[in-house]
Structure 1
Amino acid sequence: MALDLVPLVTDALVRAAEQAPKPEDVKAGWLAFAIFIGLAIAVGLLGWSLVHRLRNAQTSEDAGRYDPSDRRPRSGGPLADGALDSDRDGDQGGPASPGSPRPSSD
C-alpha cells in the first residue's frame, strides 16, 4: 500500500518543482531584512535581560538576602508531613538546619 504512493508523491514533487519561480525572480526585500534585524535585536535584549537577572540573583545570594534552607515545603510533597530535608539525607541537623538562628553578619 505504501509503495503505491511513491510514484504519486514523486510526480507531485516534480510538478511542484516545475511550477516554482525562477531564482532571479525571487527577492527578499527590505521588509524581510528589517524583520531579521528586529528579531536579532529581540534575541539580544532577551539575552541581556537574562544575564542581568542572573547577576542580580547571584548578588542577592552572596549578600545572604535569602537562604534556600528557609524554603517552605510544597503541600502534598514529600516534606508535607513535617520532615526536614536533612532528615532524609541522614544528616542530623547542624548550623544550617531550618529553624536554627542564622549567624550574624557583623
Structure 2
Amino acid sequence: MLDLLIVLLEDPTPRDTEVKAGPLGFALWIFMIIAVVVLGFSLVKQLRKAQAAKDAGLYGDEPAAPGDGTDDGSGPETRS
C-alpha cells in the first residue's frame, strides 16, 4: 500500500533532456521563417506601390517631376 502512495506522489513532469521538439517543431520553425520572408516581400511591394501613387499625385500632393530630387530607386544621387 505504501508503494502505491509513493508512485502517486512522484512528479510526472519529464526532465529537460527527455523532451525534444522533433520533426514537427522543425517544420513549424521553417514555416515561420518562410512566412516572415513572404511578408517582407509583400511589405516592400506595397511600399513601392504607395510611393508610386504619391509620386503620381494621388494623395493630394503635386505629381513629382523628373529630376526634382525624389528618389526613383536608380541609385545614389550625385550632387555637384
Q: TM-score range by the shorter chain?
A: 0.5 to 0.7
Percent identity, aligned pairs only, is: 45
Mapped pair 1:28 → 2:18: no
Structure 2: distance between partners of 1:52 and 1:31: 32
| Equivalent residue number for residue 60 of structure 2 | 68
Superposed, 1:1-106 pairs within 5 Å as 18-64=11-57, 66-68=58-60
Q: CA offset at residue 19 of structure 1?
A: 2.9
Report the Cα distance in structure 2 between the residues aligned to 1:19 and 1:28, rounded to whole angstroms. Answer: 19
Structure 2 residues not aligned, in runs of 5+ = 1-8, 66-80
What TM-score, normalized to structure 2?
Answer: 0.55
Using the TM superposition, give the Cα deviation of residue 24 of structure 1 relative to its aligned residue in structure 2, in angstroms. 2.0
* TM-score between both structures, scaled by the size of structure 1: 0.43
Root-mean-square deviation (CA), in Å? 2.6
The structure, 1 or 2, with the larger RCO (C-alpha pairs under 8 Å, 6+ apart) is 1
Count of aligned pairs between the two proteins: 55
- Runs (4 or more) in structure 1 with deviation over 6 Å come to none
**1:23 Cα deviation from its structure 2 partner:** 1.8
Check 1:22–1:67 CA distance in 2 against 1; reply closer, same or farther (3 A cut).
closer
2: CA distance between counterparts of 1:37 and 1:67? Answer: 39
One-letter amino acid matched to 1:67:
Y
Unaligned 5+ segments in structure 1 are 1-14, 70-101
Supply the distance in 1 between the matched residues of 2:37 and 2:44 (Cα, whole angstroms). 11
